[in-house]
């Protein structure tokens, strides 16, 4: 949504992920198909800021890929915190585990190798941060689950909610329409504070509203 030069300037003035996360990002970009799916340093710094601000301890992530975002988030939670991350891809998950094992924060990460909805059906606890970044066709389903599993001061962050600007054009394809439906559902939630930020490919932030003033 902003020029590469501006984004790089913002990144260079923001909290950077560790060398472990950067090495994982470099490897993914050089060697793994679909590396444009990485959240990248800009979004990592926003997540780090939110995690610290909201004193997040437990995180649920949908969409591990090669483990970049999971590790970037794990670096900002306490030692007894955890990141539970879900993905269906055995190959990219193996890369993730290899890099997590090289980081002192990797032990905070628990991997579930299952389709998102199936994995969520087996999870009953609540989370301080739920980061949705897996298959776009299930975004509304993931949001429904997240709303029921959010701790009192919890935060939901949904990635790619601008979908390269395609959300302005309904009917383009199934994924776009799914994200549009999700965004409408999120917008119309009552009792929640919401902001859809034009950072990278769109970050939708949703939090239970506190008392009315
Ligand atoms: C955008 S990538 C995640 C990127 C990651 N959060 C990061 O920035 O490092 C989306 C991931 O969702 C996974 N995925 C696709 N369909 C899925 C499903 N039904 N259940 C779980 N994961 C799925 C893909 O295998 C892919 O790794």
195-206 per-position pLDDT tens digit: 999 999 999 999
Percentage of the residues of the chain whose pLDDT score is greater than 90 = 96
pTM for the whole thing?
Answer: 0.98
41 close to ligand 1 (CB < 6 Angstrom): no
Euclidean distance between CA atoms 65 and 28, whole angstroms: 10
Residue to mutate, 92, 134, 163, 203, ligand 1, most ligand atoms under 8 Å from C-beta: 134
What is the per-residue pLDDT across 101-129, written as a single tens digit (0 to 9) for each? 999 999 999 999 999 999 999 999 999 99
Give, for 74, the enclosing helix (H) or strand (E): helix 68-74
- What per-residue confidence (pLDDT) applies to 47? 98
Q: Which long-range contacts (CB under 8 A, 24 or more apart) does 176-181 make?
A: 178/136, 178/137, 178/138, 178/139, 178/140, 179/136, 179/139, 181/139, 181/140
- What per-residue confidence (pLDDT) applies to 191? 95
- What per-residue confidence (pLDDT) applies to 207? 97
Euclidean distance between CA atoms 97 and 85, whole angstroms: 11
- What per-residue confidence (pLDDT) applies to 43? 98
pLDDT at residue 210 greater than cutoff 90:
no
- The average pLDDT across 60-89 equals 98
- The average pLDDT across 75-99 equals 98
Give the distance (Å) from ligand 1 centre to CA of residue 144: 18
Euclidean distance between CA atoms 130 and 144, whole angstroms: 12
Class of domain 4-208: alpha beta
Ligand 1 nearest atom to the CA of residue 92, by list position:
27
What is the per-residue pLDDT across 159-196, written as a single tens digit (0 to 9) for each? 999 999 999 999 999 999 999 999 999 999 999 999 99
- What per-residue confidence (pLDDT) applies to 137? 97
Give the distance (Å) from ligand 1 centre to CA of residue 19: 23
- The average pLDDT across 26-50 equals 97
- What per-residue confidence (pLDDT) applies to 111? 98
Ligand 1 nearest atom to the CA of residue 72, by list position:
9
Domain boundaries, the chain: 4-208
Cβ proximity of 203 and 159 under 8 Å: yes
- What per-residue confidence (pLDDT) applies to 1? 78
Handedness of CA 193, 148, 153, 55 (dihedral sign): negative
Residue to mutate, 33, 40, 72, 87, ligand 1, most ligand atoms under 8 Å from C-beta: 87
73 close to ligand 1 (CB < 6 Angstrom): no
- What per-residue confidence (pLDDT) applies to 211? 80
- What per-residue confidence (pLDDT) applies to 213? 85
Percentage of the residues of the chain whose pLDDT score is greater than 70 = 100
Euclidean distance between CA atoms 197 and 161, whole angstroms: 9
Bridge partners, residue 113, by sequence:
87
Euclidean distance between CA atoms 210 and 180, whole angstroms: 27
Residue to mutate, 43, 63, 132, ligand 1, most ligand atoms under 8 Å from C-beta: 63
Record the tokens describing residue 69, joined without a space: 């975002």
φ and ψ at residue 19, rounded to 5 degrees? -65, -30
Cβ proximity of 99 and 66 under 8 Å: yes
Task: Name which residue sits closest to atom 19 of ligand 1, judged by CA.
Answer: 115
Cβ proximity of 192 and 164 under 8 Å: no
């Amino acid at each position: 949504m902003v020029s590469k030069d501006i984004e790089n300037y913002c990144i260079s003035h923001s909290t950077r992920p560790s060398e472990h996360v950067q090495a994982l990002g470099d490897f993914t970009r050089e060697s793994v198909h679909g590396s444009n799916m990485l959240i990248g340093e800009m979004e990592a710094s926003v997540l780090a800021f939110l995690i610290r601000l909201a004193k997040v301890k437990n995180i649920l992530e949908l969409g591990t890929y090669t483990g970049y975002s999971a590790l970037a988030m794990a670096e900002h939670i306490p030692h007894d915190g955890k990141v539970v991350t879900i993905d269906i891809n055995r190959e990219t998950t193996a890369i993730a585990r290899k890099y997590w094992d090289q980081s002192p924060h990797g032990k905070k990460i628990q991997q579930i190798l299952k389709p998102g909805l199936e994995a969520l059906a087996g999870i009953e606890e609540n989370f301080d941060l739920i980061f949705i970044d897996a298959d776009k066709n299930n975004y509304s389903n993931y949001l429904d689950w997240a709303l029921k599993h959010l701790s009192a001061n919890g935060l939901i962050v949904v990635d790619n909610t601008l979908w390269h600007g395609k959300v302005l054009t309904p009917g383009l394809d199934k994924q776009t329409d799914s994200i549009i439906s999700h965004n409408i559902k999120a917008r119309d939630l009552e009792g929640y504070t919401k902001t859809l930020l034009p950072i990278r490919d769109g970050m939708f932030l949703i939090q239970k509203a506190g008392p009315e003033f």
